[in-house]
A and B are shown apart, each in its own frame.
Chain A
Amino acid sequence: MKTAVIQFPGSNCDADALHAARLLLDDGAQFVWHTETALPEGTELVFLPGGFSYGDHLRSGAIAARSPIMNAVKAHAEAGGYVLGVCNGFQVLTEAGLLPGALSRNKELHFMCKPVHLRVENNATDFSRAYGPGQIIEIPIAHGEGNYYADAATIAELEEGGRVVFRYADNPNGSLNDIAGIVNERGNVLGMMPHPERAVELLLGSEDGKGVFESLKTVKK
């Protein structure tokens, strides 16, 4: 699956995203600098990596969501192309209006880096097919602002539509309904706070994140 990893100034999981994408999806995966206005020809997956884009100035992800490349990313999503936003990438997706809700400060008010357990709530999406229904997986989190919030109507819509893909088994940050990752209505845009790209090699402790990439790989074109 031809993959483009977007680099904003301040992205810091960009190289990790590229590494995982090359390992599991596309050995020709490449970076795209935020000032570009078009994605590389034939891009199938846009990966918005973690980090502190624009130094988290204003709000996490707010400035990145308005950078030139994001018009191309929105067009890609509207055309049914896949978009995966992890951590700061998830924040960018909510700021860009590609996913509903917002991510506010963790309830403990500080940054947290640790492995957490997630339950795969919906394994029928193109991002989660490789997992079993209700499977418990271990993937690390590393964020200060991962507390998912949306109004009651939106939460109900997400729940009823099966759009909550991953849920924390033991909520670390105060997210409503223990939400760790959601998809858009069409199912081609996933945002999640935990870092699947950090859990794709046993050497680093867990390969439970591989399923996200393997799911995408098996999508029928």
Chain B
Amino acid sequence: MTSQSLRDQAATFGLTTEEYDLFVSQLGREPNALEAAIVGAMWSEHCGYKNSRPLFRAFPTTGPQVLQGPGENAGVVDIGDGWGVAFKMESHNHPSAVEPVQGAATGVGGILRDIFAMGARPFAVLDSLRFGNPDSPRTRFLVNGVVDGIAHYGNAIGVPTVGGEVTFHPSYQENPLVNVMALGLLRHEDLATGTMGEVGNQIVYVGSKTGRDGLGGAVFSSADLSAASQADRPAVQVGDPFMEKLLLEATLEAIQAGLVAGVQDMGAAGLVSSTCEMAYRASLGITMDLDKVPTREEGMVPMELCLSESQERMILVPVPGKEQALHDLLAKWELDVVTIGEVEAHDRYRLTWKGEVVCDLPVALLNEAPKYTREGVESADIRAARERDLSGVPLPGDLGAVLLELLSHPTIASKRPIFERYDHQVMTNTVVVPGAADAAVLRVKGSPMGVAATSDCNPRFVQLDPYAGAAAAVAEAARNLACVGATPLAITDNLNFGNPHRPEVYYQLQQAVQGIADACRALNTPVTGGNVSLYNQYTEGDHKVAIHPTPTIGMVGVLPDVTVRASLNLKAAGQTLLLLGHRAEKGWSDSIGASQYLETVHGLEAGQVPPVDLDLAQKVVDGTLALIRAGLTDTAHDCAEGGLAVALAEMAIAGGLGLNVSLDAPASVRADALLFGEAHSRVIVAVEDAAAAGAKLDELGLPYAVLGETVEAPKVTIAAPAQHVHLSVNLESLKTAWEEPLKGILG
């Protein structure tokens, strides 16, 4: 191929013509086709973060709890006693849109490799899943496929799937989101990193053979989806959890035996991105012999060997002198092990094939993709929706019926039919099973501690106000951890957005990043890593459907004593229900803006997102933890989608007990806003000793309201005298409304 035609075909490598020219000028010569493909992969959004990294400067990334910040395979936090937790979230959106079973399965496989590449044993998975219209056949196909894929991989490899989210909104109809978060446990001394180490080190390939699957996946996932994407199915990889289990055990054993100087998963852009990033971290050059790469089929060419995304492959760099020991250990696990190259004292990324040098590029040039700071402009339509006057929205006559309707919305309804398909107990650490509390809790064997994890985002908030919505996601995650008794430690984020070349999408990204940054700073939860998935946009002719911007927040926390915790189910009659975070005059939710209620009942996505008061958010976290740790409550639940009434109903359903509350809001507050509005920073707790709990909260300066009490009678009764509301629904109807909907979606 001539250089002129290479330039013309830059787009097929995922480069713009300008990027191609920049590359040529920095290289000082024309590249060959392989080199152009390699730079295209390394400069893709997936590997090079060219649109997102400049924004990330806003993130707080340090703190005494951070053992490993961004830039490695996964972040690591210190939980005490010499233990660390490695965690990260990653998307597999585009592959899941065209081939849901394998797309989701390999999403699980990929994130698990990131965790054990840090020297941590994976011990929990959470999935944040977003689908389109729940009634459509396509959604049923995707839900069933994605759930099967996660179950197929996670169950087989033996890492429990302990939590996550599943929500439904038409913006995800063609472009579902599959974000998988994994956590791993490690002793501090076993922390490994993705470096080539020093000159003379060998580069060892271990795991599955390289095939032609997943070719160009990094570029595929960095472009819009369209009807033609179905033809890209070969860009989706096929996973083998059995192989990964062997790779996991072998890698951890090798790290713990002190045989490994550096380790990295071959993920997006396969062999090239892993070895290239490792060389960059060591500031050294490497030479690899592509003839040595184990292949699944005959006749594979350098382009395929370099960019295949075949799963279950790792790069290991042995500690000098331990090469043979490493080979022997890996062979015991019946894995393919080949030394494919060496670390050298130069700055080049060199590949040979059949005795010829086929690639010779500067390591730094490949790793330093051009960065773009674009102009963001808010969409006028979205601003109009946000500023819309909602005073004309009619008040429904039967608020009990509204409560049932909200409970049966698939976004709110019970996810039991899904999580029962996941092995959530293997490894015997799962203290809180999915759905039983606001976050998953795992014990740490050999220690009194527990680890809690949650993933959160309300995309409707982010759509209407990306700054407030993203900040709210961080604050909600922190509250969810507090509601199980865990101190929030740090986050990983998975930024799912549309095409950043559109100013209104770039605006959302910019604002959301700032919202996350400010909330993380206020709540002392640094960002330890993350993943960016742009181009989540479906194109049909001129018609472009971007997803709701979805910055999923994965947060990890620690329980000093795992036996001191809370769950959301009511536990006894005669307890007092308190609403924490209630501010005297404006404490009741007084707006229906941006609520699930407004969308579900009135078909409107509009209004102001409730403002996030980060100071109050922190106080609510502290207050909830103080009550749990003082033994004053073991029942706590965050108010989120569906507001106060839905939260109360969920607590009653889970506990099989009734409740009786009275809300003394002023008459100026609408009844629907009071019951279903989604004001932030509110946690409901049930306490035995209301006086002692009140004294504790006063001492902390946290405002609260007394709502009422739990009762034996199986009935949820909510009164609001000034609004003339007296709603009473029996538990059985609530339970049916909440439990049934997902059963109908899963086949």
Contacts and interface: CB of A to CB of B under 8 A. Distances in A.
A205 interface: yes
B618 interface: no
B423 interface: yes
Given A197-B428, A203-B562, A12 B151 contact: no
B531 to A, nearest CB: 26
Interface string B241-265: 1110110000000000000000000
A54 to B, nearest CB: 7
Nearest to A35: B332
B157 interface: yes
A111 B151 CA distance: 8
A10 B242 contact: yes
B242 A9 contact: yes
A142 interface: yes
Nearest to A113: B423
A203 B423 contact: no
Nearest to B158: A12
Contacts of B443: 203-204
A113 B435 CA distance: 14
A195 B158 CA distance: 14
**Residue among A9, A52, A113 with the highest chain B CB neighbour number at 10 A:** A113
A186 interface: no
B324 to A, nearest CB: 20
Contacts of A112: 420-421
A57 B241 CA distance: 12
A140 interface: yes
B563 interface: yes
B563 A203 contact: yes
Contacts of A205: 433
A32 B240 CA distance: 24
Interface in A1-34: 9-10, 12-13, 15-16, 19-20
Interface string B295-323: 00000000000000000000000000000
A114 interface: yes
Contacts of A220: none
A19 to B, nearest CB: 6
B569 to A, nearest CB: 13
Given A51-B158, A52-B156, A204 B431 contact: yes
A36 B420 CA distance: 36
Contacts of A9: 242, 245-246, 333-334
Contacts of A197: 428
A77 to B, nearest CB: 26
B541 to A, nearest CB: 39
B586 interface: no
A204 B441 CA distance: 10
Interface string B154-167: 01111000000000
Given A55-B242, A112-B420, A113-B421, A142 B426 contact: yes
How many chain B residues sit at the interface, stated as a range, is 20 to 34
A221 interface: no
Given A197-B428, A204-B430, A205-B433, A142 B155 contact: yes
A15 B185 CA distance: 15
Interface string B416-440: 0001111111111111010000000
B560 to A, nearest CB: 15
Contacts of B241: 52, 55
Contacts of A113: 155, 419-425
Given A16-B426, A140-B425, A198-B428, A111 B155 contact: yes
A185 interface: no
Contacts of B445: 19
Interface string B666-683: 000000000000000000
A158 B439 CA distance: 44
Interface string B12-30: 0000000000000000000
Contacts of B157: 12
Contacts of A20: 428
A203 to B, nearest CB: 6
A20 B157 CA distance: 20
Contacts of A157: none
Interface in B420-473: 420-431, 433, 443, 445
B661 to A, nearest CB: 30
A13 B426 contact: yes
A170 interface: no
Given A10-B156, A55-B241, A112-B420, A142 B431 contact: no
Contacts of B240: 55
A111 B620 CA distance: 39
Contacts of B433: 205
Nearest to A14: B158
A19 B428 contact: yes
Nearest to B562: A203
A57 B240 CA distance: 11
Contacts of A142: 155, 423, 425-426
Contacts of A50: 426
A16 B148 CA distance: 24
Interface in A106-165: 110-114, 140, 142, 144
B239 to A, nearest CB: 11
Contacts of B426: 12-13, 16, 50, 142
Interface in A149-198: 195, 197-198
A196 to B, nearest CB: 11
A78 interface: no
A111 B421 contact: yes
B156 A203 contact: no
Nearest to A52: B156
B425 A10 contact: no
Interface in B381-432: 419-431
A114 B420 contact: yes
Q: Which of B158, B245, B443, B563 gathers the greatest number of chain A CB atoms within 10 Å?
A: B158
Contact of B431 (A13, A57, A203): A203
11 contacts: A10-B245, A12-B245, A19-B428, A52-B155, A52-B242, A110-B148, A113-B419, A113-B420, A113-B424, A142-B426, A204-B429
Interface of A: 9-10, 12-13, 15-16, 19-20, 50-52, 54-57, 110-114, 140, 142, 144, 195, 197-198, 201, 203-205
Given A20-B428, A113-B424, 14 more contacts: A9-B333, A10-B156, A10-B245, A12-B156, A16-B427, A16-B428, A52-B241, A54-B242, A112-B421, A113-B419, A113-B425, A142-B155, A144-B155, A203-B431
